[in-house]
Amino acid sequence: MFEEIDKKYVYEGDDLGAVYSKDKTIFKVWSPMADEAAVLLYHKCTDEKPYRRLPMTKKKGVWSKVAYGDLNGVYYTYQINHDGLIEETIDIYAKTAGANGAMGMVINMEETNPAGWYSYKPVTLNSYTDAVLYELHVRDFSIDPSGHFCYRGRFMGFVERGLVNDAGDPVGIDHIKDLGVTHVHLMPCFDYQTVDETDYHRPQFNWGYDPMNYNVPEGSYSTNPFNGKVRVAEFKRLIHALHSQGIGVVMDVVYNHTYATSDSCFNKTFPKYFYRQWADTEYYANGSGCGNEVATERAMVRKYIIDSLCYWATEYKIDGFRFDLMGLYDNETINLIYERLHEINPNVILYGEGWTGSDSALAYERRAMKLNARHVPHAAFFSDDFRDTIKGNNFENGDRGYVNGASGNEDYVREVMCGRVAHPQIPNLTKYAWTDTPQQTVNYVEAHDNLTLWDKLHYSNATDPTEVRIQMDKMAAAAVFLSQGIPFIQAGQEFLRSKPLPGGAYDHNSYNAPDAINSIKWNRKSEFIQVYNYYKGLIAFRKAHSALRFPTRELIGEHMHFFDKLPQRVVGFSLTGDNLCEEIVVFLNPNNYEIKLHAFGKYDVCIDGKNAGAEPLYQVEGDYTVEPYSVMVLCKNRVQ
């Protein structure tokens, strides 16, 4: 049925939704099987009855109406009749909305632009591997009292400068700038469903993976969710604040499912069309594990997703997108997304989760998942191989990885540190590498899902002293930043972020937990300032050396050489072809004892178990020692 509808009624125009001008607004909605449609106009988003009803006319599946006059700030909905069932719904193309996203609002977007908005130049990426990604939740960022923000939990927290924690150390956007990341990955900022925006001063929390209106900023992050202009203007202020510091913005997007199904705005617009069903049944597929999965392969669903992403990239100047459960998208849609976004911004970065939440109705070979990575060459994937190899199984609290006590996994460490691409010294990867390029590998040991790295170490190494676990954490971070691929950390990881629960446990899934668990505790930065400085130094070293950011498998094979005959559990390699050094030598020692090595020549040490940075710490020549639970990075200058 839907295949025939796609053939007969596909619409290629770029004017769906409410197209505003001062003298008129043109409303268009695609709903080819509807019997009747109308636009309802409201003065306020809290009005119970419209002040005007405008019947629409249909042409090739698209209902339209021209409303004359200046409607800037007027709220609207569509009333759509399918076989006698009349539903009122927000426009799925709405650019902004009133409280709780029930009504769209006609808006003059030019009025929402901050001063200097058009002066922004995108962050340049010669390769995805140049990026350093920093995952952050808007509310977490500024809600904790230790940050002393005025706009706690709001978009506007990002415009606040000069803030310090109780010990006087910088917090907020100044902290992010000082850390040195290239891109802030914002967890969902579109309008999601389960936080009540009419009571937004009451403490409420959700990660935001419960989508409602994809083209509308989340109202609970604004200072006034009842005015649709405010959320737009303030989200732009957030983006502009980061851009002004030379930091790109990645938006976490969740087009794979919606929170509601039968009563979602998509089903009210065109029942069943936007969601997959199991073959020859009326039952919704549930590959998201959230009740439905979006049918990305259908023509007007694919168009909607691409239109939405292009809208964020143009209107809001978003620099990249992270796709939740990317395995639920079909390969062709992801490839088309890249083509369109690359035309808008050649520096755009795309990455996502290379799996599904449950079994999907989409054929396995069509899924944009990690094992099909070669079919979507411009999308990167989170490397759960890296994560579990370095710190242990993500879903087993006590399981250990390379840095916290596992034995015999040195080969796996080599595999993940070379970007999981085929390497001449690792025969296993010739057969089992899931990608041909390090630009598809996102290396991480912590994200919003599951335990933080520090909490994982509490479970897996409960009897080890705090000082030892700190060294393990720093080793894990070093593995992330010294590997080929794209480094990714969660906000607060740089000062041992923790999510403790009452009673001594730690939260594995804090998607709706209170602020007391989720908020960034800015005083921890001062408590663990040596850890912060170490992360900062690792980032600075990575950004300074091109040999850590090779864009191709061939360059890695040519310039990354692993050492053999090293002490048990020690991994070491050298890198050549660097922009600054003749050779970079890296050793990782996860043992509880020091190891003795020999340098053939004079080397600068830039990273050891205590300190890290782009500048030399000291020099070694001849015999030297790598301390327990530590990394050592040596550089040989081209001119000695």
Strand partners, 134: 184, 489
Written as one letter, the residue type at 366 is R
324: annotated active-site residue: yes
Among residues 144, 252, 324, 446, the one annotated as catalytic is 324
Distance CA 113, CA 109 (A): 7
Cα–Cα distance measured from residue 515 to residue 204, given in angstroms and rounded to the nearest whole number: 8
User: Side chain identity at 139, as an amino acid letter?
Assistant: R
Read out DSSP for 34-99?
-SEEEEEEESSTT-SS-SEEEE-EEETTEEEEEEES--TT-EEEEEEEETTEEEEE--TT-S-BSG
| Cα–Cα dist 380/373, whole Å | 8
Written as six digits, the tokens of 490 are 């969660």
Burial class of residue 582, CB neighbours in 10 A (0-12, 13-18, 19+): middle
Question: DSSP H helical segments within 393-498, as ranges?
Answer: 410-417, 427-432, 453-460, 466-481
Per annotation, catalytic residue among 135, 353, 415, 578: 353
Residue in 374, 336, 334 with CA at minimum distance from that of residue 351: 334
Known catalytic residue: 353? yes
380-382 and 349-352 as β-strands: parallel, antiparallel, unpaired? parallel
How far apart (Å, rounded) are the C-alpha atoms in residues 279 and 636?
Answer: 61
Tokens encoding 444: 């991480």
Q: Measured between alpha carbons, how far is 49 from 584 in angstroms, rounded to an integer? A: 70
CA distances from 28 to 89, 272, 311 (A): 14, 20, 17
Cβ pair 163, 170 in contact under 8 A: yes
Q: Which residues are catalytic?
A: 324, 353
